[in-house]
Amino acid sequence: MRVVQGSADAALIRSSVRGFIVSHFMPGDPLHALRDDDLLFEGGIVDSAGAIALIAFLEEEYGIQVPDQDLFPTNFATVEKIASYVTRSLMKG
């Protein structure tokens, strides 16, 4: 589990999430091929099965729980939204 403290580490979260997505859903592409504001689901980068893998990664990597009521595009549509969600979850717990 990765320990993250403060908003300065939001960039580390974005980088980690981007790395996971590129390595699992965009193999062979460089990290810069995915921008923080690229739409993951609408853009066809991540599908519903991929969403399960992504949630499992976040829970394992950051020691958070993602309840079903949080599974909305407002939280997971882009790398930026995911990083914000993780940051909020870490501050709660």
What's the domain range around 39?
7-92
CB atoms within 10 A of CB 59: 14
- Give the DSSP letter string of 63-80: -----GGG-SHHHHSSHH
Residue owning tokens 């992504």: 54
Q: Is residue 22 part of a domain?
A: yes
Q: Is residue 1 part of a domain?
A: no
Q: Is residue 58 part of a domain?
A: yes
Give the domain CATH number at 62: 1.10.1200.10
* pLDDT given at position 73: 87
- pLDDT higher for 10 or 38? 38
Q: Is residue 2 part of a domain?
A: no
Number of domains present in the structure of the chain: 1
CA angle 92, 22, 66 (to 5 degrees): 25
**What tokens does 60 get?**
């394992």
Q: Is residue 80 part of a domain?
A: yes
* pLDDT given at position 8: 46
Distance from C-alpha of 46 to C-alpha of 3, rounded to nearest angstrom: 25
Over 70: is that where the pLDDT of 13 sits?
yes
Q: 28-75, pLDDT tens digit by residue?
A: 999 999 999 999 999 999 999 999 999 999 999 999 999 999 999 889
Q: Is residue 37 part of a domain?
A: yes
